[in-house]
Amino acid sequence: MRPEIAVLDIQGQYRVYTEFYRADAAEKTIVLVNGSMATTASFAQTVKSLYPQFNVVLYDQPYAGRSKIHNRHEQMLTKEVEGQILLELLAHFAAEHVLSFSWGGAATLVALAHRPRRVEKAVISSFSPVINAPMRDYLERGVDYLGNLDRDRVGQLVNSTLGKHLPSLFKRFNYRHVSSLAEHEYGQMHFHISHVLNSDRLCYLKAARQIDIPVLFLNGEWDEYTSAGDAKLFGQHVAKSSFSTIQATGHFLDMEHKAACRDSREAVVGFLKPERQVSRLRYQQGHAQQAFAI
């Protein structure tokens, strides 16, 4: 399973590294949108869950991962700019679906509010329109550590909060990645967090009101930072919204343990391809009847 790799020019302003996992039998294409401080590598498990049922597209924001060497980093990117980049990628790959994780939900909501022509369904995972007490504490400490370039504390903070339910091996990888980012990446995250803390979060709900396609909001039962209860506020604004809570898992969903990976996959695929779930159920029922007859 090797991707087709390309660095795409976005409106002459940004260069974006992309990975395209093409599946010959797939009828639909899905674009995955990273969370903050994350790269294409963070979606390794998700790709395995979705491929080869879908063609899968991954990309790094201009300031991150394998995109950053192709860009100058002369200005900070707003969520609106990230939304425009996503719109360009959805059009380029003629994608029917989009799935975001964590902070990637902000850019995804902005993009979906423009009603991209081909996009049929979206999944917004580990995101909510509310800054609750645990999230505010995380963000306030984060903006302090990022502003002081305190790499150790940034790495420790992520693992002790959002990543508290990750396996120890993943925590080590997470710490190594987050504590070794370039200075401009810390600056970008500092910019994002400062904006979130000092702006009206209702902007996400305003964008949500413009969305006219089915959207699944997916959250972990143990995620106190972007909780399932808070995410349900989107139901008042996204006309075709649905909600799924992954039991016994936190913010990182399919990365935390095998059952969460399975349940996340079933929730996403069941939403994007409900006919597949019906066929599977019929097969299981028929198999059970045969076993009973024997």
- Cβ neighbors of 229 (< 8 A, separation 6 or more) are none
At 13-72, the pLDDT tens digits run 999 999 999 999 999 999 999 998 899 999 999 999 999 999 999 999 999 999 999 999
The pTM assigned to this predicted structure is 0.90
Whether the link from the prior residue into 52 is cis, omega within 30° of 0, is: yes
How many residues does the structure list for the chain? 294
Residue ranges of alpha helices (H) inside 148-240 are 151-160, 168-178, 183-198, 202-209, 228-231
**Exposed e or buried b for every residue in 61-70, given b needs 16+ CB within 10 A?**
bbbbbbbbee
CA distances for 280 relative to 89, 117, 242, 263, 291, angstroms? 32, 30, 21, 15, 16
Token couple for 166: 């990750």
* DSSP 8-state symbol, 78: P
Question: What confidence tier does 199 reach under pLDDT thresholds 50, 70, 90?
Answer: confident
* DSSP 8-state symbol, 97: E
Which residue, among 84, 48, 62, has the nearest Cα to 18 in the 3D structure?
62
At 128-178, the pLDDT tens digits run 998 999 999 999 999 999 999 999 999 999 999 999 999 999 999 999 999
Mean pLDDT over each residue of the chain, to the nearest integer: 91
Q: What local confidence, expressed as pLDDT, does residue 195 receive? A: 85
At 222-273, the pLDDT tens digits run 999 999 999 999 999 999 999 999 999 999 999 999 999 999 999 999 999 9
* DSSP 8-state symbol, 77: P
The Cα–Cα gap between 130 and 283 comes to 41
46: part of which helix (H) or strand (E)?
helix 44-50
**Exposed e or buried b for every residue in 202-238, given b needs 16+ CB within 10 A?**
eebbebbeebebbbbbbbbebbbbbbbebbbbbeebb
Q: In what order do the strands lie in the sheet with 29-33?
A: 4-10, 14-21, 55-59, 29-33, 97-101, 121-125, 215-220, 241-246
Token couple for 30: 């899905």
